[in-house]
Structure 1
Amino acid sequence: MNKNNYQMYISGSIKLGVGFGIVSLLSRWVTGNTILSSPETLIKYGLAGGVGYSLMGALALILFGLLAKKIREKYPNHQTIGDVLREKLKPSGYWYMIIVLFLTSFDSLFVQSMGAGILLHMIFPLPVFFGMLCFFLFCFFIGGLGGIQRLHQFAGVNVTIIFAAVIIIPAYFFIKEGVYPVYDGIKLYHPYLLFIKNTDAIWFVLIAILIFFGQILMDRATWQRVFIIQEEKVRMTFTLAGGIWATIPFAISSLLMIIMFGRSYENIYSLIFELVDKIQSTMLIILFVLFCFSAISSTISAEIHATTTLFVKNVLGLFRSLTDRERWRYSYIFSGGICVCLLVIVSILTPNPLELLFFFGNIYAAMIIPMLYIIHSKTILPSIIPFSSLIGAVGGYIFLPITEDLKAILLSFTLSGFICLMVLVISLISNTAKNRKEL
């Protein structure tokens, strides 16, 4: 790889078409959270929740695809989300958004790393620290050292393994057990899973769409892929990727129902272990392990690469002039530091994936309207626009002790949206008055 051209590290040498663009997006968004949150969603909200979880991710990707076309048209020479923010925001608003980007980035990395720790502990009889050390060394090699080109080299393999697992393993179980015995067993032991008229599940899906859409809007890796997919194909790429992504959590939910029928379970995560125990074929066990490893490692590698790029290009690059070789060197140092921090933190803390997702859901929901405002704006925006997300998120957290998580997230979204609307109205009134004076 040419170390004299940092452009190769950020976006590679070619623009992606529809096929490989879909592969790259799926490699980023089929995550450890998808694997670990699917069982929890299924248990809490039943089959309706499992289907809804599949649809929310698909809809969020499709909605972002509608924006992606406009982003490419308005910002043809940019490479990262930081480039767009720097053009549209004043310094105070820019640095606030950069802080939020790093905060959400480490949240995403931590969730994926924690998922890797859980799966490694359940599947392999190894000390967690040793397993995670090997895992992070691999992710550092792909995302930290290799750049976007190495990510693309592994993306096709990762997606092939993922779809082989979600197609072959469910087919194997349904052929072996039969459809009706599974349905009868679920109906007997876990009838609540089949309850369709679940208002809590509908409410969960609606709020989850806000969270997922906000997460995509703030995702560093997704924005980089917007700029490396061919402009005329970017909308179709996101739309098709969304439709294909929906099949993954649905397939995982069907696998879990196969495990649960005719028996009880100790805890949610024990279902993953029971799946490994229930698979009798050595080849299928290997396929399932590779599926988990591919999904989580590809996500962490993409996130490490995108966060490193954001730091070197949009933070460090503003304080001093860097040569391309210096950018490469700082990328290695920063990405290595991320992996070391994650290894230490994951060894100490083990929170619940779905709870952590909803804890940061206030931030993601509060970011939606400000980010839409930034994307569509034609001028440099006042700092109140990005800071409206802070007001919205804080408002949601303040009411969190006296209301439900889902309502607090909706409140965060509403508060930030209301502030942005007021700014827009005041701006329109001010411009109208100014035009009248000129006349």
Structure 2
Amino acid sequence: MKRSNYQIYISGAIKLGVSFGVVSLLARWVTGNTILSSPETLIKYGLVGGFGYSLVGALCFILFGFLAKKVHDEYSDQKTIGDVLRQKLTPSGYWYMISILFLTSFYSIFIQAMGAGILIYTIFPFPDFIGIFFFLTICYFIGGVGGMQHLHQLAGVNVTVIFAAVIIIPVFFFIQQGIYPIYDGIKLFHPYLLYIKNEDAIWFIVTAVFVFFGQILVDRATWQRLFILQKDKVRITFTLTGLIWATIPLALSSLLLISIFGRSFENVYTLFWELVDKIQSTILIVLFALFCFSAIASAISSELHATTSLFVRNVLQLIRPLTESEQWKYSYIFSGTICVFLLAAVSILTPSPLTLLFFFGNIYAAIISPMLYIILSKNVQPFIIPFSSFIGALSGLIFQQVTNDLKSIWLSFAVSTFICLIVLLYKAITKKRIQEI
């Protein structure tokens, strides 16, 4: 990589076609959250929840593909989501949105690092602090130092390992144990997983659409890949990504069913230990470990790179112009700082991934309408449009104190959408009056 050209660090040196675009997006989106939320979703909402989780991901990628095509056509010269926001917002609105992007970035990276910590503790005998330190060091050199080119070089390997694990391990067990003994074991010890008339699961699936779509809509790494896709390949790339991604949670659900059939379990995190204990084959245990750490390392590296690029290009560069060498230097420093922060945070905090997902779900749901308004509009938007996401998220979080998480997410979306509609209506009335005059 030429250290004199910082643009290669941000975007790489090539345009992506359909096949490699799908691989790059899958390497970003098969994450620790996918791995850790799957057992919680399965245990809490049963097989309907596990299937719905997969369906939600596919639908959101397909929907974003339609929007991505328009973004690519109108902002083809941009590099990051921050470039688009700077073009469409006032300074106050821009800095507010940049703050939201960093908040969700740190949440996303923290979830991945926490997933790595749980898996290190589950699979390996040495202290998890040491394991996390070496794991984050690898991610730092891949995403923080290597940039987009290194991410591209490793994306194919990551996706190959992921699909090898989710195909070979379930097939091995179903051939060895048979389908009916596994089904009978689940029916005997965990019959609630097979209950299909679960209204809570349906409510979860519908609500998850808002959370997942909002997450994709403000994901820094996804936007960077959007801009380096070939122009006529954008929509089909996201559609195929959604369809292929949906198979991963389904495969994880089948793995978890294998780990619990015919026995009980202590908590959702012991399911991974149960699976490792049940695999027994050294080769398959190594494959499972590689799958977990490959997926999480790829997601952390991608998010670390995207957050660093956003900070250098859309924050520092606006404060004062930077030389090429300064951009490289601050990228190394900032990404290293994030890794140190992650090491400390993961060592201290152990929240539930699904709980965190729906806590930040208020933010993701509230950001949908303002982001759509910003992207689809033709003019610079006033501060109230991005700020409506804050009002919506705050309303949802307050309401969350007296009701369940899912209803608060709907409220967050409704409040921010209502404010955007009021602004749109006001502009339409004002424009009509001006034309009449």
**TM-score of Structure 1 vs Structure 2, range by shorter chain:** over 0.9
Once the two structures are TM-superposed, the CA of residue 311 in structure 1 deviates from its matched residue by 0.2
After TM superposition, where is structure 1 displaced by more than 4 Å over at least 4 residues in a row? Answer: none
SS of 1:410's equivalent in the other structure is: helix
Task: Write out aligned runs for 1:349-368 (5 A).
Answer: 349-368=349-368
SS of 1:343's equivalent in the other structure is: helix
SS of 1:402's equivalent in the other structure is: coil
Structure 1 CA distance, aligned partners of 2:40 and 2:395? 27
- Residue aligning to 2:308: 308
Q: Which runs of 5+ in 1 are unaligned?
A: none
- Residue aligning to 2:333: 333
Residue type matched to 2:430 in 1?
Answer: S
- Residue aligning to 2:92: 92
Q: Is the 8 A contact 2:6 2:327 kept in 1?
A: yes
Structure 1 CA distance, aligned partners of 2:76 and 2:282? 49
Structure 2 CA distance, aligned partners of 1:5 and 1:271? 46
Once the two structures are TM-superposed, the CA of residue 96 in structure 1 deviates from its matched residue by 0.4
Please tell me whether residue 295 in structure 1 is matched to residue 265 in structure 2.
Answer: no
Structure 2 CA distance, aligned partners of 1:149 and 1:63? 28
Could you give the per-residue CA deviations for residues 330-383 of structure 1, whole angstroms, max 9, x where no partner exists? 101100111011001111111111001111000000000000001101000011
Could you give the per-residue CA deviations for residues 24-83 of structure 1, whole angstroms, max 9, x where no partner exists? 000000001111110110000000000001111111111111100000011010010000
Task: Write out aligned runs for 1:201-220 (5 A).
Answer: 201-220=201-220
SS of 1:134's equivalent in the other structure is: helix
Q: Is the 8 A contact 2:82 2:310 kept in 1?
A: yes
Residue type matched to 2:9 in 1?
Answer: Y
Residue type matched to 2:362 in 1?
Answer: N
SS of 1:360's equivalent in the other structure is: helix
- Residue aligning to 2:393: 393
- Residue aligning to 1:6: 6
Task: Write out aligned runs for 1:170-209 (5 A).
Answer: 170-209=170-209
Q: Is the 8 A contact 2:260 2:274 kept in 1?
A: no
- Residue aligning to 2:422: 422
- Residue aligning to 1:61: 61
- Residue aligning to 1:110: 110
Structure 2 CA distance, aligned partners of 1:106 and 1:379? 30
Please tell me whether residue 134 in structure 1 is matched to residue 131 in structure 2.
Answer: no
Could you give the per-residue CA deviations for residues 222-270 of structure 1, whole angstroms, max 9, x where no partner exists? 0000001111001000000000000001000011111111111111110
SS of 1:14's equivalent in the other structure is: coil
Structure 2 CA distance, aligned partners of 1:335 and 1:189? 46
SS of 1:125's equivalent in the other structure is: coil
Structure 2 CA distance, aligned partners of 1:34 and 1:72? 27
Structure 2 CA distance, aligned partners of 1:130 and 1:255? 28
Q: Is the 8 A contact 2:183 2:261 kept in 1?
A: yes
Once the two structures are TM-superposed, the CA of residue 134 in structure 1 deviates from its matched residue by 0.2
Structure 1 CA distance, aligned partners of 2:60 and 2:126? 37
Structure 2 CA distance, aligned partners of 1:140 and 1:235? 31
Could you give the per-residue CA deviations for residues 386-434 of structure 1, whole angstroms, max 9, x where no partner exists? 0000000000011111111000000000000000000001101111111
Residue type matched to 1:274 in 2?
Answer: E
Once the two structures are TM-superposed, the CA of residue 280 in structure 1 deviates from its matched residue by 1.7
Q: Is the 8 A contact 2:120 2:131 kept in 1?
A: yes
SS of 1:98's equivalent in the other structure is: helix
Structure 1 CA distance, aligned partners of 2:76 and 2:303? 23
Please tell me whether residue 251 in structure 1 is matched to residue 248 in structure 2.
Answer: no
Please tell me whether residue 228 in structure 1 is matched to residue 232 in structure 2.
Answer: no
- Residue aligning to 2:76: 76
Once the two structures are TM-superposed, the CA of residue 136 in structure 1 deviates from its matched residue by 0.5
Structure 2 CA distance, aligned partners of 1:34 and 1:333? 29
Once the two structures are TM-superposed, the CA of residue 278 in structure 1 deviates from its matched residue by 0.8
Structure 1 CA distance, aligned partners of 2:381 and 2:36? 39
- Residue aligning to 1:275: 275
Structure 1 CA distance, aligned partners of 2:313 and 2:223? 14
Could you give the per-residue CA deviations for residues 185-244 of structure 1, whole angstroms, max 9, x where no partner exists? 111111110000111000001111100000000100000000011110010000000000
- Paired residues, number: 437
Q: Is the 8 A contact 2:144 2:331 kept in 1?
A: yes
Could you give the per-residue CA deviations for residues 13-33 of structure 1, whole angstroms, max 9, x where no partner exists? 110000000000000000011
- Residue aligning to 2:263: 263
Could you give the per-residue CA deviations for residues 140-173 of structure 1, whole angstroms, max 9, x where no partner exists? 0100000000000000000000000000000000
- Residue aligning to 2:51: 51
Structure 2 CA distance, aligned partners of 1:321 and 1:120? 42
TM-score by length of 1: 0.99
Q: Which runs of 5+ in 2 are unaligned?
A: none
- Residue aligning to 1:151: 151
